[in-house]
């Protein structure tokens, strides 16, 4: 296969790189993408989540001139770190996973000066991404991707295009109120936003017996809307994240993690299910909400609460 000169230049420039080993030549697929498999070598000691050598693919799309680096399906990392997309498996035809590290944003761990110097030439740009990856894997392996004082990024999850959008509004005393209910659970009314298809607003929080305990202050259009759906809320001590930085992927993972916070998910579902079967105003599917205190900055003090579907 003929490899464009500009891409061959990348291979030539990395041939003697001390930390990059190309394992094959560039190849293109039916979608016009060019990809190059390589192995990146840590400059630090291997860890539980990072071996000394990990396999990757750098992918170049000529039409958009975009460059993305993905973990390889074989020999690549399978977990998700900070500053990385949710690292799920992609199409069976792809040799890489979908968890591309975020290399083109000015994360403190990657150096803002080097971010500002991103080159325009295609071969320079691809090499620049490879060098940024080396910085990223070192920071990931040593737990230094999240710098204290930087904005906190919630862990990424799988695509949720088929899920409803649910909005909530907070009050000044939310944190104190919900901390008083840690490990508790109950119900929440969801009002459908006027004119929207699958967008809702949380209006009234209820205890296990459906008695109102907290009302959200919305505008008239939402405040006067009748509940269209019901949600199940669980109040947690902290963000339900698994090491290194990903949401639980399965119900079993979620159940095991919540158990470490003192929540027996199976018991909650059993009691909630029994309650729903007794009701006469069942409004269909129940959406689960996990609420937890959260800080705006890494290492900061929580000032508000948020939730995850």
Over residues 137-183, the pLDDT tens digits come to 999 999 999 888 888 888 987 765 566 788 888 888 888 999 999 99
Question: Residue 308 — very low, low, confident or very high, per pLDDT cuts 50/70/90?
Answer: very low
**Whether the Cβ atoms of residue 113 and residue 128 lie closer than 8 Å to each other:** no
Query: In angstroms, rounded to a whole number, what is the distance separating the alpha carbons of residues 205 and 208?
Result: 10
Residue scoring higher pLDDT (37 or 193): 37
Query: In angstroms, rounded to a whole number, what is the distance separating the alpha carbons of residues 188 and 200?
Result: 12
Based on the fold, state whether residues 126 and 89 are members of the same structural domain.
Answer: yes
Q: State CA 225 to chain mean position distance.
A: 32
Residue 158 lies in a domain: no
Based on the fold, state whether residues 188 and 245 are members of the same structural domain.
Answer: yes
Based on the fold, state whether residues 117 and 203 are members of the same structural domain.
Answer: no
- Domain edge (last residue) among 141, 157, 191: 141
> Is pLDDT of 228 > 50?
yes
Other C-beta atoms closer than 10 Å to the C-beta of 208 total 13
Residue 63 lies in a domain: yes
80: three-class secondary structure by DSSP: coil
With CA atoms as reference, report the closest residue to 229 among 276, 190, 186. Answer: 190
What is the reported pLDDT for 159?
Answer: 63
Q: What backbone phi and psi angles, to 5 degrees, belong to 286?
A: -100, 130
Based on the fold, state whether residues 134 and 14 are members of the same structural domain.
Answer: yes
What is the reported pLDDT for 23?
Answer: 97
- Domain edge (last residue) among 108, 141, 174: 141
> Is pLDDT of 113 > 60?
no
How many domains is the chain built from? 2
Residue 24 lies in a domain: yes
What is the reported pLDDT for 283?
Answer: 65
What is the reported pLDDT for 309?
Answer: 39
Summarize the confidence of residues 227-251 as an average pLDDT.
92
Other C-beta atoms closer than 10 Å to the C-beta of 26 total 19
Question: What is the domain extent for residue 38?
Answer: 5-141
Over residues 272-297, the pLDDT tens digits come to 999 988 877 666 788 999 999 989 89
Residue 149 lies in a domain: no
Question: Residue 117 — very low, low, confident or very high, per pLDDT cuts 50/70/90?
Answer: low
Residue 94, both tokens: 């792809």
Summarize the confidence of residues 50-74 as an average pLDDT.
97
- Residue 11: CB partners within 8 Å, gap ≥ 6? 3, 22, 25, 26, 36
With CA atoms as reference, report the closest residue to 145 among 155, 157, 158. Answer: 155
Percent of the chain residues topping a pLDDT of 70: 91
Q: Compute the Cα dihedral for 129, 132, 138, 144 and give only its sign.
A: negative
Q: Among the listed ranges 67-76, 135-144, 287-296, 299-308, which one has the minimum average pLDDT value?
A: 299-308
Based on the fold, state whether residues 13 and 131 are members of the same structural domain.
Answer: yes
Query: In angstroms, rounded to a whole number, what is the distance separating the alpha carbons of residues 157 and 101?
Result: 14
Summarize the confidence of residues 77-92 as an average pLDDT.
93
Residue scoring higher pLDDT (68 or 174): 68
Based on the fold, state whether residues 176 and 254 are members of the same structural domain.
Answer: yes
Based on the fold, state whether residues 171 and 299 are members of the same structural domain.
Answer: yes
Query: In angstroms, rounded to a whole number, what is the distance separating the alpha carbons of residues 71 and 55?
Result: 6
> Is pLDDT of 110 > 60?
yes
- Give how far Cα 63 sits from Cα of 60, 70, 130, Å: 9, 19, 20
Summarize the confidence of residues 239-251 as an average pLDDT.
91
**Whether the Cβ atoms of residue 141 and residue 135 lie closer than 8 Å to each other:** no
Based on the fold, state whether residues 173 and 299 are members of the same structural domain.
Answer: yes
Based on the fold, state whether residues 77 and 189 are members of the same structural domain.
Answer: no
Query: In angstroms, rounded to a whole number, what is the distance separating the alpha carbons of residues 205 and 222?
Result: 15
Based on the fold, state whether residues 104 and 191 are members of the same structural domain.
Answer: no
Residue 269 lies in a domain: yes
- Residue 30: CB partners within 8 Å, gap ≥ 6? none
> Is pLDDT of 115 > 80?
no
Question: Residue 105 — very low, low, confident or very high, per pLDDT cuts 50/70/90?
Answer: low
């Amino acid at each position: 296969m003929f490899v464009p000169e500009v891409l061959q230049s990348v291979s030539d420039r990395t041939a003697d790189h001390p930390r990059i080993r190309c394992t094959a030549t560039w190849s293109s697929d039916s979608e016009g993408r060019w990809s190059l498999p390589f192995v990146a070598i840590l400059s630090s000691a291997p860890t539980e989540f990072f071996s000394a050598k990990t396999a990757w693919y750098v992918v170049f799309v000529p039409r958009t001139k975009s460059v993305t680096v993905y973990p390889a399906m074989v020999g690549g990392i399978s977990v998700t770190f900070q500053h990385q997309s949710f690292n799920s498996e992609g199409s069976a035809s792809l040799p890489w996973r979908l968890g591309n590290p975020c290399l083109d944003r000015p994360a403190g761990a990657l150096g803002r000066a080097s971010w500002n110097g991103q080159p325009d030439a295609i071969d320079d740009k691809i090499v620049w991404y490879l060098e940024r990856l080396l910085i990223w894997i070192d920071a990931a392996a040593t737990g230094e991707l999240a710098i204290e004082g930087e904005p906190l990024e919630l862990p990424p999850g799988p695509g949720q295009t088929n899920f409803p959008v649910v909005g909530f509004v907070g009050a000044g005393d939310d944190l104190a109120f919900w901390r008083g209910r840690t490990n508790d659970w109950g119900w929440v009314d969801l009002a459908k936003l006027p004119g929207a298809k699958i967008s809702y607003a949380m209006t009234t929080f209820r205890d296990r017996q459906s008695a109102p305990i907290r009302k959200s202050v919305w505008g008239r259009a939402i405040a006067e809307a009748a509940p269209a759906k019901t949600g199940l809320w669980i109040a947690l001590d902290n963000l339900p994240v698994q090491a290194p930085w990903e949401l639980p992927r399965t119900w079993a993972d979620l159940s095991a993690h919540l158990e470490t916070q003192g929540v027996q998910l199976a018991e909650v579902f059993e009691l909630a299910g029994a309650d729903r079967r007794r009701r006469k105003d069942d409004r269909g599917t129940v959406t689960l909400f996990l609420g937890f205190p959260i800080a705006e900055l890494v290492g900061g003090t929580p000032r508000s609460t948020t939730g995850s579907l």
